[in-house]
């Protein structure tokens, strides 16, 4: 990232209006993205969240502790420059949405999936004009072309910054419908996360928790909730 070294050199991090957004300065030096573009955020709230990550650095800079900065960099350096490719990739999740692929057994799991996921598919049909077909097993089921067009339009309506956060909501959950439900206020992020892990939760109930898997799950959940917060701060 241009404008900073591996070690902390600054004493003060400030947020300043810049163009139509808000930039961040380390003392008198502007923060830039890895491609050397000015790191300008769309809202003051998001800029302050990014600035807090820089202010929290001590000694050696640790990018792993700066998720807001990473997502902002991605929005500017990748999503804004390749918007259609990113939007198309995320819209394609509608073709194989997690909520549409159901277990073949046991009956209790089938019922649990139906109770948890059917209301979201009903919502997608009504609110997004995107009814989707449900199947049992993993064999691909074709979705209505008009529904895929509607879902794609919803994705493309997002700004680059929101799309960068939306990427994580969809990719981590495996569901375009869940991602849209969160960003449109149909579900809280925590609830959507739980719904996306329904099958895994079933397996844990049967066989118990694996420590390594639990650690990975915790990291994914944190990233999912972080993406929701980033999206909300985009204004």
Q: For residue 1, what pLDDT band results from cuts at 50, 70 and 90?
A: very low
First to last CA, the chain: 25
pLDDT greater than 70 at residue 4: no
186 and 132 within one domain? yes
Mean pLDDT score of the chain: 95
The answer for 127, left when phi > 0, alpha when psi is -120 to 50, beta otherwise, is alpha
107 and 220 within one domain? yes
| Residue 53 within any structural domain of the chain | yes
89 and 54 within one domain? no
pLDDT score for 219: 97
Using CA atoms, how far apart are residues 121 and 66, in angstroms rounded to an integer? 35
102 and 206 within one domain? yes
117 and 29 within one domain? no
| Residue 74 within any structural domain of the chain | no
CATH code where residue 29 lies:
3.30.2180.10
169 and 94 within one domain? yes
pLDDT greater than 90 at residue 7: no
Q: Which residues lie below 8 Å from residue 89, measured CB to CB, with a gap of 6+?
A: none
The proportion of the chain whose per-residue pLDDT surpasses 70, expressed as a percent, equals 97
pLDDT digits (tens, 9 = 90+) for 178-211: 999 999 999 999 999 999 999 999 999 999 999 9
94 and 27 within one domain? no
213 and 148 within one domain? yes
Q: For residue 2, what pLDDT band results from cuts at 50, 70 and 90?
A: very low
Using CA atoms, how far apart are residues 226 and 168, in angstroms rounded to an integer? 9
| Residue 72 within any structural domain of the chain | no
Structural tokens at position 181: 């439900």
CATH code where residue 92 lies:
1.10.3580.10
pLDDT digits (tens, 9 = 90+) for 114-144: 999 999 999 999 999 999 999 999 999 999 9
pLDDT digits (tens, 9 = 90+) for 28-45: 899 999 999 999 999 999
Confidence (pTM): 0.95
| Residue 61 within any structural domain of the chain | yes
Alpha helices in the chain (DSSP H): 44-55, 67-74, 83-91, 107-127, 145-156, 160-173, 176-183, 189-196, 198-207, 211-233
Using CA atoms, how far apart are residues 62 and 74, in angstroms rounded to an integer? 17
**H-run or E-run covering 153:** helix 145-156
pLDDT greater than 80 at residue 100: yes
**Which structural domain range is residue 155 located in?**
83-233
Domain count within the chain? 2
Structural tokens at position 126: 């009504």
Cα 91 vs. chain centroid, distance in angstroms?
13
pLDDT score for 30: 95
pLDDT score for 117: 98
- Of the residues 40, 66, 92, the one at which a domain ends: 66
Q: Which residues lie below 8 Å from residue 151, measured CB to CB, with a gap of 6+?
A: 91, 94, 124, 128, 130, 176, 180
126 and 216 within one domain? yes
pLDDT digits (tens, 9 = 90+) for 141-157: 999 999 999 999 999 99
113 and 17 within one domain? no
| Residue 26 within any structural domain of the chain | yes
196 and 92 within one domain? yes
209 and 98 within one domain? yes
């Amino acid at each position: 990232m241009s404008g900073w070294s591996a070690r902390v050199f600054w004493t003060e991090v400030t947020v300043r209006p810049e163009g139509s957004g808000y930039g961040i300065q380390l003392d008198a030096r502007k923060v830039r993205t890895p491609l050397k573009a000015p790191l300008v955020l769309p809202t003051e709230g998001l800029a302050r969240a990014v600035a807090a990550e820089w202010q929290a650095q001590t000694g050696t800079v640790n990018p792993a502790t700066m998720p807001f900065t990473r997502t902002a960099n991605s929005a500017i350096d990748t999503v804004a420059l390749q918007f259609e490719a990113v939007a198309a990739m995320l819209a394609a999740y509608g073709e194989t949405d997690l909520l549409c692929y159901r277990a073949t057994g046991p009956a209790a799991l089938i019922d649990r999936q139906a109770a948890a996921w059917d209301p979201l598919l009903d919502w997608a049909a009504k609110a997004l004009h995107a009814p989707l077909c449900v199947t049992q097993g993993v064999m691909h089921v074709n979705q209505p072309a008009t529904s895929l067009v509607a879902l794609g339009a919803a994705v493309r309506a997002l700004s680059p910054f929101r799309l960068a956060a939306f990427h994580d909501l969809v990719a981590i959950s495996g569901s375009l419908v869940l991602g849209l439900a969160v960003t449109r206020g149909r579900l809280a992020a925590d609830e959507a996360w739980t719904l996306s892990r329904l099958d895994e939760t079933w397996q844990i109930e049967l066989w118990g928790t694996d420590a390594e898997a639990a650690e990975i799950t915790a990291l994914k959940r944190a990233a999912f909730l972080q993406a929701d917060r980033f999206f909300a701060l985009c204004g």
